[in-house]
């Protein structure tokens, strides 16, 4: 009975989770420093390193369009933080994994499911969302 009560409180706390502060400007700087080399400044997958990668970088401007008009929050977070590795440059994404370590923020996917990740990834995600074309 005690476990059921704890689980109920955990679920209620998650549902009441406040919106996570996102810093788009900080996300833009993180993108410029850590992502633009492969994905390009514009996010189209045409960065200077794109030509030497075994798997071509994703066009970051088309993530929402390629997901029925919904930005794929969970997929993007998991690619960045390494839970969904993509071996495109000889090692799993991200190349800068040490920088993005830490799971100190929670955000909600479009389906309402909470996702734990780090503050820098939340900022980076907020910037990547601004790159989406309609």
pLDDT of residue 131: 97
pLDDT of residue 107: 85
pLDDT of residue 22: 76
Measure Cα distances from 38 to 13, 94, 106 in Å. Answer: 38, 11, 27
Query: Is CATH 1.10.3470 correct for 18-130?
Result: no
Can you give the pTM of this predicted structure?
A: 0.76
CA distance 130 to 38: 18
Of 5 and 59, the structure prediction assigns the larger pLDDT to 59
CA distance 127 to 29: 9
Beta partners for 117?
A: 105
Domain coordinates of the chain in residue numbers? 18-130
pLDDT of residue 9: 43
Q: Judge contact between 95 and 89, C-beta under 8 A.
A: yes
**Alpha-carbon torsion (72, 107, 81, 47), positive or negative:** positive
Q: How confident is the model at residue 11 (pLDDT cuts 50, 70, 90)?
A: very low
């Amino acid at each position: 009975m005690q476990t059921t009560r704890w689980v109920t409180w955990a679920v209620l706390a998650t549902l009441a989770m406040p919106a996570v502060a996102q810093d788009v400007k900080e996300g833009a700087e993180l993108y410029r420093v850590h992502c633009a080399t492969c994905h390009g400044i514009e996010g189209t997958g045409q960065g200077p390193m794109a030509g030497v990668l075994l798997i071509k970088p994703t066009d970051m401007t088309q993530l929402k369009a390629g997901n029925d008009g919904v930005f794929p929050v969970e997929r993007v977070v998991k690619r960045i933080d390494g839970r969904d590795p993509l071996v495109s440059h000889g090692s799993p994404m991200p190349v800068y994994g040490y920088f993005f370590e830490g799971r100190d923020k929670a955000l909600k996917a479009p389906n309402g499911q909470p996702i734990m990740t780090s503050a820098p990834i939340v900022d980076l995600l907020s910037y990547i969302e601004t790159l989406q074309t309609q």
